[in-house]
A and B are shown apart, each in its own frame.
Chain A
Amino acid sequence: MGVGNTILSIQGLKVHFDTIDGTSRVLDDVELSVREAEVVGLVGETGCGKSVTAKTILGSLPMPPGKILEGKILFLKDNLLELSREERHQVMSRKMSYIPQDPMTSLNPVFTVGEQMGDMIRWQGRRRIGPLEFLRLRRRRDNSIAKAVELLDRVDIPASKEIIRRYPVELSGGMRQRVLIAMALIGYPSLLIADEPTTALDVTIQKGILELIEEKVKEEQLSVLYITHNLGVARRLCHRIYVMYAGTIAETAKTKDLLDNPRHPYTSNLISSIPKLTGDEFRGIDGRIPDYIDPPAGCRFHPRCPRVMEICKQERPELAKVGEDRLLACHLFSTGGGS
């Protein structure tokens, strides 16, 4: 892993949603960074704000009801939140791409794979074009088909010439996910955001997809923000992991450090919830993710935390540097706190 420059940096991001019942305070001071050629995992349970984070970065958050209160998203030296739509599109269209979660519904069922890929190849990075250019580009079909075949070969799809004539329903889940990855790689992006791309797939197929992503990261010096709820998948793929709980970052460290030596009570409880092949006892976490309309004061994890202290109920712990390469938001480890 080459420790390069920071390519994506999120600082103090706060996102709220207006709902009928009140304001839902979903993201609360999220800090996150991805360096060049680094695979970063964002791990957490259902409803902890992983996908909202991804959507905010991609600018696909529905607003309203969502609103970004404060924070910065720095991508390649631009603050994405300060750019106009047009400028943002310019910056992001080729440099950032996205692999969606559900391969079953993310492709258009009425066009063949080749047509969909051809469209992306021809129109990528363009937002508004005049009629003349439209006509000129529309004719470049042959060229784009050849490029689609080449892209499918890049993601190890066998018989790619055959596949581009097929409709998405004729492909299996694993194949569709490969097509989506191929589409994400079209413009040789610098940052790939993957939102649980293997959750819908069997373990054997998942393994193939993970190997493919690993290979692309090496070959093309990709940076990846990989969102998942599966720590095992994160361990395999990621250099560094962020653990998210109820819209806040609980802990981040290098993968091995985090898994072998978790500090935050949520991280360690999450790890001990996973059934292991060693047959070690596994136990869950009592309670459930809090209501975002009225989140607990202080640390959002305190109602479920087995090591809760008085201060946790009043004061929100800051995400602070603890040791090398580790950030932690927990009063147990802040200066003056316990152990």
Chain B
Amino acid sequence: MNQLLMKMEGLCKYFFRDSGLLGREKKVIRAVDTVDLEINYGETLALAGESGSGKTTLGKTMIRIYKPTKGKLWFDGDEISSIDGNRLRHYRRYMQMVFQDPTSALNPRKTVLDIISLPLRIYQDLSRAERRERVKELLEMVELPADFLYRYPHALSGGQKQRVGIARALALNPKLIVLDEPTSALDVSVQAKILALLDRLREQFQLTYIYISHDLSVVKNISDRTVVMYLGQIMETALTDDLFKSPLHPYTRALLSAIPIISAEEQELIPEEITLVGEIPSPLDVPPGCNFISRCQEKMDICDEEEPPLAKVGNDHYIRCHRACPQ
């Protein structure tokens, strides 16, 4: 049942910035820092964290939009961390992405037909009529009427644009779709519809989702497993139900306690209030020791000196914190 689709070992993505006189020094931004992660077929994995925590960079590195700086990455049993060109193209069709801002993700000069058929033109040898049929089919899957074929993105609402983005991601029958905050630009009434659509498509095509979000209420409702990230590192990961029931990392608890909720029943499900002091530090100068140290209210002496390892604390539950792991 739990068949492995993707595996990451010590995956890193660093960006370099020139600094110093004539750019002779290089500053390192560790956007993704030593991530170990396994993704199973058919699961929905959520990446959660504040802005600047590296969730989008991890998502993009996973599907090789970025080339990893260090570490290894396997997709469906094959190592894809350093391949290029045509060999990479072979894998790209199985890994698709839906972007955060539906307006800037669609070319305003192209019709919906052009937009959705572009991947088909690149990867499949179909006649024009066959392509149009396929696009019609795809529009039906995302519950858009067929007369949208010749419309331009500006004539669509936010929700409809996001549906077009989803149809484009589905065009090549992918195995994995990275959804980068697909509903953060939408109203809640539309968000609920899009999430229901994504859920139906996942069952229909046995898709695997990587769902990137800062909205933990959404994460709770759609994901099987959750990864909480902070400054490029995994801070805690567990099955979603376990994570929300017994969050262990101080950062996870702080995130949960900050969710704006709407009922008393929900209030009982979140940990007692923790207000984080300060803000996420610049990735240019990550503190020594634990990454979270500058905002942690439960820190100990050891946290200043040593970076905690990602330790197993239960069934599928891992946490990076000195408080939780046995010394």
Contacts and interface: CB of A to CB of B under 8 A. Distances in A.
Interface of A: 45-46, 172, 174-175, 202-208, 211, 229-233, 235-236, 259-260, 269-271, 273-279, 282-286, 288
27 contacts: A45-B188, A202-B214, A202-B280, A203-B255, A203-B258, A203-B259, A204-B276, A205-B279, A207-B275, A208-B276, A229-B188, A230-B260, A236-B260, A259-B262, A260-B264, A271-B262, A273-B189, A274-B192, A274-B217, A275-B218, A275-B220, A277-B220, A282-B192, A283-B192, A284-B189, A284-B191, A288-B190
A329 to B, nearest CB: 19
Q: Chain B at the A interface: mostly helix, strand, loop or mixed? A: helix
Interface of B: 50-51, 157-159, 187-193, 195-196, 214-218, 220-222, 244, 254-255, 257-266, 269-270, 275-276, 279-280
A138 B222 CA distance: 58
A54 B192 CA distance: 28
Nearest to A46: B187
Contact of B254 (A204, A232, A235, A285): A204
Contact of B262 (A207, A231, A269, A283): A231
Given A270-B188, A277-B261, A204 B266 contact: no
Contacts of A231: 260, 262
Contacts of B279: 172, 174-175, 205
A175 B278 CA distance: 10
B231 to A, nearest CB: 13
B221 A260 contact: no
A288 B159 CA distance: 9
A285 B186 CA distance: 13
A325 B209 CA distance: 46
Contacts of B215: 275
A278 B260 contact: no
Contacts of A211: 275
Nearest to A279: B221
Contacts of B259: 203, 232, 277
B135 to A, nearest CB: 23
Contact of A204 (B220, B255, B263, B269): B255
Contacts, number: 113
Given A203-B214, A207-B258, A273-B191, A283 B196 contact: yes
Contacts of B221: 275-276, 279, 282
Contacts of A175: 279
A204 B258 CA distance: 6
Contacts of B187: 45-46, 229
A232 B255 contact: no
A268 B116 CA distance: 36
Given A259-B263, A275-B192, 4 more contacts: A204-B50, A205-B279, A274-B262, A278-B263
Contacts of B257: 207
B269 A278 contact: yes
A278 B266 contact: yes
Nearest to A233: B260
Contacts of A260: 263-264
A273 B188 contact: yes
Contacts of B217: 274-277
Given A204-B254, A270-B188, A283-B196, A276 B214 contact: no
A273 B262 contact: no
Nearest to B241: A279
Contacts of A283: 192-193, 196
Contacts of B222: 275
Nearest to A259: B262
B263 A276 contact: yes
A274 B50 CA distance: 20
Contact of B244 (A172, A202, A277): A277
B189 A276 contact: no
Contact of A284 (B158, B188, B261): B188
Contact of A235 (B157, B262, B276): B262
A232 B218 CA distance: 13
Contacts of A229: 187-188
Contacts of B196: 283-284
A230 B266 CA distance: 16
Q: Which of A208, A233, A271, A278 has most B Cβ within 10 Å?
A: A278
A207 B256 CA distance: 11
A53 to B, nearest CB: 18
Nearest to B185: A46
A236 B260 CA distance: 7
A270 B187 CA distance: 10
Given A174-B279, A203-B214, A207-B275, A278 B265 contact: yes
B316 to A, nearest CB: 19
Given A276-B217, A277-B217, A206 B258 contact: yes
B260 A203 contact: yes
Given A202-B50, A207-B275, A277-B220, A284 B263 contact: no
Nearest to A236: B260
